[in-house]
Structures are given as C-alpha cells and as structure tokens.
Structure 1
C-alpha cells in the first residue's frame, strides 16, 4: 500500500494532477479487496470509514453535521473520472450529495476546498492526500495481520530492468 500512496504523492509533487487523482481514486478499491471485499458497496464502506470524516463538518448555529460528500459520491467520482474523464456524476446512480465536482488547485496557504454545493469545489491535492492518509492509517491498523500482509505482497509491482546489475 505504501508504494501506491507514495506514487500518488510523487504525482502531486510533479503536478501530475490527473495521474494523482486517478491512482488515489483506486485506493479504496484496493484496500477493500485486500480485506476480502469487492464491489461498490465495499468501496463506499471503506471510504466512509477511513476518509469520510474529512468530508463532514458541523455547520450553522446548531452545528448540524453537513455531508459535503460521502463514499457514494467518491465512488460516483471514481466511475465518472476513471471511465470518462468527467467530473459530472449526475448520471451515476450511486451518487448521493454531489452531482458535479469542480477540482481546484489552490494557492499555497489558501485552500479552496469543500466550497459550494453543486458543483462542489474540491482541491485535488487535499482529496488525494486525504485518501492517502486514510490508506496509511488503514495499513498501520493491519500491520500485524500476516494474512493481510501476504495479500499486500500480491499487489502490482515493477521490476526496474534499467538500473542493473540484476538477475531474473
């Protein structure tokens, strides 16, 4: 898992926003699968459990909880973005709160994140980092689980044949 979150962060550092977002949006799928679950309901549960708190805030004088986006909206974004390069989730039947996203790249120190309702402005760096932080915490929780660690070994890896010496 650490290799995936590292690659998301490297893509963010290189300002490869599309690549960072695409990889970050797959993380809940990967983590859920490593837990032995799959499908959109597993994605939604994982996102809500490990990232969702960052997308809920108390609002107004009564401090009622407002959900800016939840796991269903994240899954809808995942589908629209990965399959169509779209931020419009209106046609995604699973969506909950958000019909359309507007991704921002905020100036340092002035995040434009979770503004508006529809479209919801989301800073791509913050969203990607929130998903990575959720995955890092999730991986730490499972650090002592030998079966989980074995399943993690099955994640895609790359053999760099250009850095020799090496043997196959």
Structure 2
C-alpha cells in the first residue's frame, strides 16, 4: 500500500516536474524498489478520483465570482515517441483589488487544442465580467442572446501594452 508521502512524491514528480511514470518506475528500480508503471498509473488514477470533489469545489468557488480573468497557455504533452502541444486554460478569481473577502483561486482545464468551444463549454452558465486577451474564442460568450446573459468582455492591459511596444520599436518613436 502506498502512503501519502509516496503518493504525493509520485504526483508532484508527474505533474510539477513533468516526469513520466515510466521514468519514475525506472528511478525506483535503480533504488531496488519494484514499482511497475501500471501500478503507478493506478495510484495516480485513484488520487485523481479522490481529489475530484476538491476540483468541483474550486470550480464552484471560481465561477461564483462576478469578475474572472481567463487565459490559456501551451503545454507540451508527451506521447509515444513525440511531443504534442496541449492547452491549459486558467480561470482566475481575485476579488482582493475590489475589496472582496473571498480568497483568490484558479481553476484549470486542459484541452488538446485551442478551439473556441472550450471557453464556451468551461463557462457555460456563468455570467459577469471576463478579462482576457483578444482571442476570438471568447467572443461567443459576449454574444447577445447568450443564456443566462452575455458576459462583459474587458481587455487585458498587458496584452495591449505588448502591441504598443512593438509599434514603438518598429517606428523608432523617440517619445515612446
């Protein structure tokens, strides 16, 4: 039986250090510990199932906010003999700057691609102010007629600032 220390080590190595289970199995074998990759995978699956209610609570807490920040980033995904690119979507709640008492939180979702259906699916039923980059995949959330209501899209200064710096560099603007 695996204890909490071993399970947390396996999970952290897999998800934080990006160390595949087969390499973890090899590392254990070098120390004289026989842990087959399938056993590690079973334990990861059991931990995932055990932690699922926590994920549900984080999602509910984040989506209870009136304001969210959304962004996605690429994440390399190891496949047999190659690496593919997945997407990690994050939805951030932080009411602190607005004087809110709720603790900040981030809800993450993974997808294999960047299709606009993902944020639409992730934010089904949510309405409020959504701060994001100019990715067109968020546009359907702000369409009139969306139920329960269209979201209010607001831009991201960090993304807007990048464009201004590119223009200043390109045009060699002395005052920029």
Q: Is TM more than 0.5 here?
A: no
Q: Higher helix fraction: Structure 1 or Structure 2?
A: 1
Q: Higher strand fraction: Structure 1 or Structure 2?
A: 2
Greater CA radius of gyration, 1 or 2?
A: 2
